[in-house]
């Protein structure tokens, strides 16, 4: 088995387990908040800057160390990125994985067929057979990492926080680019507070903030909030809790079905149907993590998140939870302007809690 | 406001039809009547997407299909300024100017209480993210169920079964809303009507290949988007027959515009008033076909109507990878013997615009230049007549140099 062979994935709905079961290393590919470079020549200007920065990586040859790349129908921009990538960035293995937008039994069954097909094509390309046994082992390994990350998230319910929100966020990001056993080893090095310690109550004077939105893969916003005197206690992002806060059934007789069920029924991205389910997930997070306010951020030109934001803001307001909406350009180049708004928001939260 | 607008539209059309009947007026009149029916107190109103939902299924029930995008954007042509004012109502509530103007206008109409009631919200995952999201949000505001027909990006027996199964579930929802059991004989008749209309449209598409082009290219585009609302009704076949007869008559009488260049139109058309048609006419350019007007689907098997409707969705050029769209574009470019292609890139139409370079490069290999014409379908604030004029005239020059 050649562990150095890396296969990139672009959306958190790509089950890493299938790639792992082929003896390959799944790694998240992100533009890292980088600029779009020459991608504007290939993609329409009003496409999300995340998509364009990924294209820029490909054009600049920064993905050459990867043997393959897996796309999904995450959104209009992402599915067209697949088209453009395939046409202009020579890559050994490029795959479009179909991920349903519904979550019901029919969608789960259909997704399972797509995962099986993906496994077959991937296995054929790399000359490795993916068995139910190897897939179940991969599920177990991925779950182990998820459980440990969930343990980290649990600690964020305590007051004061044992780890900063930015630290937990960075840890999760790091885990998306390394082998699961190495990630598990790293997570185990953290000494989590005991159950007694995690039941602490009372205010430590800091506002507790839920960050939510789409792709954030730099700590700028977290740092801004923390430097402004508040804590990020939860992050409903595909680069944070949404990626880890669920489990896939282990030792399943039909592991593809188990994967499909696990991935489609986890806390959803705005791409999935069910605005009301997503709203309920958000309200639950706000309650579980004793949130004082929400910072909702979206990269520019993301139809899914930009459309949800005003409706969620209305509902949060009705629930008495203040919200700050921040549109970002993925490179966080406007961080100076955002600083003023974030600080004002924290001040407002502090004033409300006095 | 919208209801009054449809009433005026219907009345004007009826008056004109009495003076000089023609197919286009028939079409506009039928559209206005359908939209007006949605305001009837006893109507069962199903909000849907005329241009992508398999309308044959709705035609099998006594429900009124109402498209929140089309309905309000009809207003953009006669009154673009008011539409901007309506859009600002949604923008003021936080809806970003970066989302599609069709969605902002629809949300604005909702906030101003212009829309009829809704009994069910039905849409499809194709063509775009914005529409499916607005469908869900509007359903929340109305306190009604939102159902999305999830159309995957790949064609296989599994995806056909997946879409077909969803359509069967949607039929059950329609039974609940309408209070009627699905009558399979009626559904089969709707499918037959749709197949007949498909054949009639094929004849119209053949006549459109004539040189010079015997019709109005913008109307071809319009019909390819809104005309789908009549799929499953006998009206659609009558409409296409009448349009074909009129084209043949124009050709026979030599009542056609002079034509130096033939152009294939890609993506959507602006519904707001623009100078595009005038500039094209001045330069003797005909829009001879729209990529959305291609008959891309097979006849629906009346013995397997759900599967047939699923296939129609899955074969849509805006589903699947760019190859599915591109093959249709190249086919039309050849069949209609075009000198160039124009892609109207409406600002937020990411599903259409994002990979347009792939299409441009493929057309260029065939020696066909592509103009990517930026603008907005309905937001007057994002349309520049001067820039459009400059781009179109330069493009005409390019086509001339290659002729």
pLDDT in tens, A296-309: 999 999 999 999 99
B345 touching A (Cβ < 8 Å)? yes
**How far apart (Å, rounded) are the C-alpha atoms in residues A89 and A76?**
19
Instruction: Please name which of B289, B279, B285 lies closest in space to residue B260, comparing C-alpha atoms.
Output: B285
Instruction: Render pLDDT for A279-301 as a digit per residue (tens, 0 to 9).
Output: 999 999 999 999 999 999 999 99
**Cβ atoms of residues B123 and B149 within 8 Å:** yes
Distance from CA of B388 to the nearest CA of A (A): 18
Q: CA nearest A112 in B: which residue?
A: B158
Please, which pLDDT band fits residue A93 given cuts at 50, 70 and 90? Answer: very high
Tell me whether residues A303 and B153 touch, CB distance under 8 A: no
Q: A84: which chain B residues are within 8 Å (Cβ-Cβ)?
A: 354-355, 357-358
Tell me whether residues A273 and B136 touch, CB distance under 8 A: yes
pLDDT value of position A38: 87
Q: Which contiguous run of DSSP H or E holds residue A43?
A: none
With a CB-CB cutoff of 8 Å, which residues 145-164 of chain B face chain A?
A: 146, 148, 150, 152-154, 156, 158-159, 161-162
Which string of DSSP letters, residue by residue, matches A156-218?
TTSSS-SS-HHHHHHHHHHHTTS-HHHHHHHHHTS-PPPTTGGG--S--S-EEEEEEES---S
Q: What is the mean pLDDT of residues A76-83?
A: 97
Helix, strand, coil content of chain B in percent (nearest 5): 60, 10, 30
pLDDT value of position A244: 98
In words, the CATH class of domain A134-353 is alpha beta
B361 touching A (Cβ < 8 Å)? yes
Q: Flag whether pLDDT at A84 surpasses 80.
A: yes
Q: CA nearest A275 in B: which residue?
A: B136
Q: CA nearest B124 in A: which residue?
A: A101
Instruction: Please name which of A284, A275, A202 lies closest in space to residue A241, comparing C-alpha atoms.
Output: A284
Tell me whether residues A313 and B94 touch, CB distance under 8 A: yes
Q: What is the dihedral of CA B393, B389, B362, B345, to 10 degrees?
A: 180
pLDDT value of position B140: 96
CA A92 to chain centre: 26
Please list, residue by residue across B118-142, b when 16 or more beta carbons sit within 10 angstroms of its beta carbon and e when fewer do. Answer: bbbbbbbbbbbbbbbbbbbbbbbeb
Query: How many A/B residue pairs have CB atoms within 8 Å?
Result: 141
Q: A303: which chain B residues are within 8 Å (Cβ-Cβ)?
A: 99-100, 128-130, 133, 348, 350
pLDDT value of position B145: 95
Q: Out of A87, A276, A300, whose CB is closest to B358?
A: A87
**How far apart (Å, rounded) are the C-alpha atoms in residues B321 and A195?**
51
The interface predicted TM-score of the complex, written ipTM, equals 0.96
pLDDT value of position A200: 43
pLDDT value of position A1: 45
**How far apart (Å, rounded) are the C-alpha atoms in residues B367 and B197?**
34
Q: Flag whether pLDDT at A2 surpasses 70.
A: no
pLDDT value of position B122: 97
Q: Flag whether pLDDT at A196 surpasses 80.
A: no
Tell me whether residues A110 and B152 touch, CB distance under 8 A: yes
Distance from CA of B199 to the nearest CA of A (A): 32
pLDDT value of position B87: 98
Q: How far apart are the first and last CA of chain B?
A: 49
Distance from CA of A238 to the nearest CA of B (A): 18
Please list, residue by residue across B345-379, b when 16 or more beta carbons sit within 10 angstroms of its beta carbon and e when fewer do. Answer: bbbbbbbbbbbbbbbbebbeeeebbbbbbbbbbbb
Share of chain A above pLDDT 70, in %: 96
**Cβ atoms of residues A310 and B94 within 8 Å:** yes
Instruction: Render pLDDT for A220-258 as a digit per residue (tens, 0 to 9).
Output: 999 999 999 999 999 999 999 999 999 999 999 999 999
pLDDT value of position A3: 56
pLDDT value of position B152: 98
Look at the pTM and tell me if it is higher than 0.80.
Answer: yes
**Residue A350 DSSP class:** H
Q: Out of A114, A271, A311, whose CB is closest to B137?
A: A311
B103 touching A (Cβ < 8 Å)? yes
- Enumerate helices (H) and strands (E) in chain A, giving the number of each: 13, 8
> What is the overall mean pLDDT for chain A?
93
**In chain A, which residues fall in CATH 3.40.50.11890?**
6-129
B313 touching A (Cβ < 8 Å)? no
pLDDT value of position A201: 43
Q: Out of A51, A98, A273, whose CB is closest to B154?
A: A98
Q: CA nearest A76 in B: which residue?
A: B351
Q: Flag whether pLDDT at A199 surpasses 60.
A: no
Instruction: Render pLDDT for A124-174 as a digit per residue (tens, 0 to 9).
Output: 999 999 999 999 999 999 999 999 999 999 999 988 889 999 999 999 999
Tell me whether residues B161 and A110 touch, CB distance under 8 A: yes
Q: CA nearest A102 in B: which residue?
A: B150
Tell me whether residues B133 and A101 touch, CB distance under 8 A: no
B231 touching A (Cβ < 8 Å)? no
**In chain A, which residues fall in CATH 3.40.50.11900?**
134-353
Instruction: Render pLDDT for B51-108 as a digit per residue (tens, 0 to 9).
Output: 999 999 999 999 999 999 999 999 999 999 999 999 999 999 999 999 999 999 999 9
Please, which pLDDT band fits residue A176 given cuts at 50, 70 and 90? Answer: very high
**How far apart (Å, rounded) are the C-alpha atoms in residues A2 and B369?**
47
Q: Which fold has domain A6-129?
A: Rossmann fold (3.40.50)
Share of chain A above pLDDT 90, in %: 88
Instruction: Render pLDDT for B309-352 as a digit per residue (tens, 0 to 9).
Output: 999 999 999 999 999 999 999 999 999 999 999 999 999 999 99
Hey, where are the domains in chain B?
1-403
The sign of the CA dihedral A10, A12, A15, A19 is: positive
pLDDT value of position A263: 98
**How far apart (Å, rounded) are the C-alpha atoms in residues B272 and B376?**
8
Tell me whether residues B129 and A308 touch, CB distance under 8 A: no
Q: CA nearest B136 in A: which residue?
A: A275
Given a cut of 50, the residues of chain B with pLDDT beneath it are none
B165 touching A (Cβ < 8 Å)? yes
């Amino acid at each position: 088995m050649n562990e150095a062979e890396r296969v990139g994935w672009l959306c958190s709905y790509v089950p890493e387990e299938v790639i792992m079961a082929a003896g390959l290393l799944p790694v998240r590919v992100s533009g890292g908040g980088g600029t779009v470079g020459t991608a504007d020549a290939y993609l329409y200007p009003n496409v999300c800057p995340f998509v364009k920065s990924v294209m820029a990586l490909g054009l600049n040859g920064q993905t050459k160390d990867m043997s393959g790349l897996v796309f999904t129908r995450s959104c209009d921009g992402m599915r067209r990125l697949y088209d453009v990538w395939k046409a202009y960035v020579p890559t050994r293995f490029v795959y479009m994985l179909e991920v349903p937008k519904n979550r019901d039994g029919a969608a789960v069954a259909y997704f399972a067929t797509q995962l099986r097909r993906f496994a077959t094509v991937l296995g054929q390309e790399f000359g490795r057979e993916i068995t139910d046994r190897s897939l179940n082992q991969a599920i177990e390994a991925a779950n182990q990492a998820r459980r440990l990350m969930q343990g980290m998230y649990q600690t964020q319910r305590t007051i004061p926080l044992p780890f900063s929100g930015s630290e937990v966020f960075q840890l999760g990001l790091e885990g998306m680019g390394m082998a699961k056993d190495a990630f598990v080893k790293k997570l185990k090095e953290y000494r989590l507070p005991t159950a007694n310690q995690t039941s602490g109550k009372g205010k430590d004077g800091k506002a507790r903030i839920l960050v939510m939105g789409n792709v954030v893969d730099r700590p700028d916003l977290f740092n801004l909030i923390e430097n402004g005197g508040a804590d990020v206690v939860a992050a409903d992002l595909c680069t944070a809790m949404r990626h880890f806060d669920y489990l896939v059934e282990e030792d399943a007789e039909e592991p593809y079905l188990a994967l499909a069920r696990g991935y489609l029924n986890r806390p959803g991205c705005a791409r999935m149907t069910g605005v009301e389910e997503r709203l309920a997930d958000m309200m639950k997070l706000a309650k579980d993590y004793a949130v004082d306010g929400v910072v909702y951020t979206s990269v520019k030109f993301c139809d899914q998140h930009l459309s949800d934001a005003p409706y969620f803001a209305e509902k949060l307001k009705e629930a008495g939870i203040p919200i700050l909406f921040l549109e970002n350009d993925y490179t966080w180049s406007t961080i100076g302007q955002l600083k003023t708004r974030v600080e004002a928001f924290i001040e407002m939260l502090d004033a409300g809690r006095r | 406001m919208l209801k009054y607008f449809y009433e005026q539209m219907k009345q004007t059309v009826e008056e004109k039809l009495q003076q000089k009947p023609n197919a286009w007026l028939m079409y506009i009149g039928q559209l206005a009547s359908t939209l007006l029916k949605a305001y009837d107190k006893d109507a069962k109103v199903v909000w849907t997407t005329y241009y992508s939902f398999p309308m044959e299924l709705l035609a099998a029930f006594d429900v009124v299909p109402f498209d929140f995008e089309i309905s309000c954007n009809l207003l953009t042509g006669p009154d673009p300024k008011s539409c901007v004012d309506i859009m600002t109502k949604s923008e003021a509530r936080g809806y970003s100017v970066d989302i599609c103007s069709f969605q902002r206008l629809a949300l604005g109409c909702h906030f101003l209480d212009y829309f009829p009631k809704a009994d069910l919200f039905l849409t499809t995952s194709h063509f775009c993210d914005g529409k499916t999201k607005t469908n869900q949000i509007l359903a929340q505001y109305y306190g009604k169920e939102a159902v999305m027909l999830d159309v995957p990006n790949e064609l296989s027996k599994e995806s056909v079964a997946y879409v077909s199964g969803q359509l069967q579930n949607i039929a059950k929802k329609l039974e609940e809303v309408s209070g009627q059991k699905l009558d399979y004989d009626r559904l089969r008749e709707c499918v037959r009507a749709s197949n007949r209309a498909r054949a009639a449209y094929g004849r119209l598409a053949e006549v459109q290949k004539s040189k010079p082009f015997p019709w109005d290219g913008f109307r071809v585009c319009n019909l390819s988007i809104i005309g789908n609302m009549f799929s499953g009704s006998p009206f659609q076949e009558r409409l296409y027959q009448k349009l074909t007869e009129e084209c043949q008559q124009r050709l026979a009488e030599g009542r056609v515009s002079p034509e130096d260049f033939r152009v294939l139109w890609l993506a959507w058309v602006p519904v707001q008033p623009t100078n595009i048609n005038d500039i094209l006419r001045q330069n003797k350019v005909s829009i001879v076909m729209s990529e959305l007007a291609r008959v891309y689907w097979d006849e629906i098997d009346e013995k397997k109507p759900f599967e047939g409707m699923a296939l129609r969705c899955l074969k849509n050029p805006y589903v699947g990878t760019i190859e599915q769209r591109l093959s249709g574009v190249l086919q039309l470019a050849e069949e209609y013997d075009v000198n160039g292609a124009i892609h109207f890139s409406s600002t937020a139409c990411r599903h259409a615009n994002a990979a347009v370079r792939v299409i441009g490069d493929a057309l260029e290999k065939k020696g066909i230049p592509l103009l990517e014409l930026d603008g907005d379908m309905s937001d007057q604030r994002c349309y520049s007549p001067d820039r459009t004029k400059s781009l179109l005239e330069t493009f005409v020059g390019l086509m001339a140099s290659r002729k």
